[in-house]
Amino acid sequence: LWIPNAEVQRSVIWSIGLAAAGFAITVMLIPVFSSMTLGRGNLGGRDLGKRHDPARRDTVIPESLGIVSGIAFLGLLIVGELVFTRGRPDAYLELSTALLSITFMMLLGFMDDVLDLKWRYKLVLPLVASMPLLVMYDGATTIVLPRFMRFLVAEAGSQSLTPLGGLLALVPGVSVDRHSEGAVLDLGVWYLVFMSLLAIFCTNAINIYAGINGLEPGQSLVIASAILATNLLELVGGGDLESPHLHSARLMLPFCGVTLALLAFNLSPAAVFVGDTFCYFAGMTIAVAGIQGHFSKTLLLFFAPQIINFLYSVPQLFKVVPCPRHRLPGVDAATGLMVPSTYEIKLSDGSTATRDNMTLICLVLRITGPIKEATLTRVLLGIQVVACCAGIWLRFALSSYTLDV
């Protein structure tokens, strides 16, 4: 490792140890808990991507195994607090706040698996879960506009605001500072609102970009790896024990360990399903890293596929057009290959039309044509990797275009 600060380096090595332990514990416990969730827990589901296969069609796959990776993650970090934060109350408070928010969301995810929650709970409760983070937030509330974007808020070569800049400056709590080379928007309390929305978005976005084996833990692992790469690149450049990037890396390393183990069981043909427990746990853990690591805008770049999937889904999510219970892809009975799934809509002339479900998964299938489930997962995760690499590049490229403030 090339991290200049020896204490920081030691802390990262400890976290790598926690990641390895998390991987091992999750691999050992998933088989044990799969029989329990199917048995007493009565939590299971049919693998809808195997409808063409008489041997697998009626097999019930254990559901909600994200609870195992989640508990392993929480347990390890609670133990980790002993090592990282003994004698450092501020660091202890920060990590405990993260664990509080993540635990709350994991509980909500498990409730969703058992009780099938309504949408209103899925939107309001992440907001509650994000509050401890907002109380503790001590990072910037500003957005620095690079030189080439200054024209949006200020007239060229002068201090006068453009109509958009003027409008922003009118919002209570917002200030627009003009510099000769750029501009700084201080969003004040609105930045906290933005971070709450980020938590709501991250938890739900992973859950609705789902339905084929390996995709839920796969996308989470790719995003977490991109975050980790960003953190390490920052730490190699310098930083002490209080660095927000070190805090984020401490969350992301064990998260990657437990998620990799879960992914191994969820790849096609899936031995277990991860459940909403995992989707909410993963989304909140990633959101916490972004908020406490002070890189919430970079995080949005890594979520590009999820943002596209969400925006494209809006007509179905808000019931402008019908939304079936499951929007996951269909299977061609003859070939076993995946095809876009559809919904029926009544047109104004009384006839009905069949349209593709509005998900990025079905859109990609429309472009590639019928492919195997495992191939589809690989294509979608490939898109995620490209989005994350582009995000890392943009973060470090754009920072050279911003003024020093």
Assigned token pair, 22: 């998390």
The type of residue at 51 is R
Site membership for Mg ion, residue 276 (CB under 5 A) = yes
Half-sphere exposure of 29 (CA within 13 A, CB side): 18
In the bound complex, which residue of the shown chain has the CB atom lying closest to ligand UD1?
45
Q: How far is CA 165 from the centre of its chain?
A: 31
H or E element that contains 392: helix 373-398
- Contact set for Mg ion, span 287-346 (CB under 5 A): none
Q: Name residue, tokens 């969003």.
A: 187
Q: DSSP label at 371?
A: B
The interface partner of residue 208, options being Mg ion, ligand UD1, none and the CB cut-off 5 to 8 Å by kind, is ligand UD1
Per CB under 5 A, the segment of 115-123, 165-173, 201-209, 381-389 that binds Mg ion is 201-209
* Contacting range for ligand UD1; rule: CB under 6 A; set: 156-164, 181-189, 211-219, 342-350: 211-219
Q: Which listed option, ligand UD1, Mg ion, none, makes contact with residue 377 (CB within 5 to 8 Å by class)?
A: none
Q: Work out the angle at residue 121's Cα, subtended by the Cα atoms of residues 120 and 123, and round it to the nearest 5 degrees.
A: 70
Q: Does residue number 47 form part of the binding site for ligand UD1 (CB under 6 A)? A: yes
**Which of Mg ion, ligand UD1, none does residue 273 bind (CB under 5 to 8 Å by kind)?**
ligand UD1
From the list 60, 26, 28, 69, the residue with the least C-alpha distance to 42 is 60
User: What residues does 185 pair with on adjacent strands?
Assistant: 143, 176
Is the N-terminal amide bond of 269 cis, ω within 30° of 0?
yes
Choosing from 97, 207, 259, 277, the residue that interacts with Mg ion (CB under 5 A) is 207
Number of helical H runs and strand E runs in the chain: 13, 9
Question: Which of Mg ion, ligand UD1, none lies near 45, with the C-beta cut-off 5 to 8 A by kind?
Answer: ligand UD1
Q: Which is nearer to ligand UD1, 56 or 179 (CB)?
A: 56
Cβ of residue 61: shortest distance to ligand UD1, in angstroms? Answer: 7
Instruction: Considering only the stretches 116-124, 148-156, 189-197, 204-212, report the one whose residues sit in contact with Mg ion under the rule CB under 5 A.
Output: 204-212
- Closer by beta carbon to ligand UD1, 48 or else 304: 48
* Cβ–Cβ < 8 Å for 84, 77: no
From ligand UD1, Mg ion, none, interface partner of 234 (C-beta below 5 to 8 A by class)? none
**Helix/strand/coil percentages in the chain, nearest 5:** 65, 10, 30
Within 53-153, where are the H helices? 66-85, 89-115, 119-136
> Smaller CB distance to ligand UD1: residue 41 or 146?
41
Binding mask 253-292 for ligand UD1 (x = CB under 6 A): -----------------x--x--x----------------
Interface residues with ligand UD1 (CB under 6 A) are 45-49, 63, 207-208, 210-213, 270, 273, 276, 326-328
Interface residues with Mg ion (CB under 5 A) are 207, 276
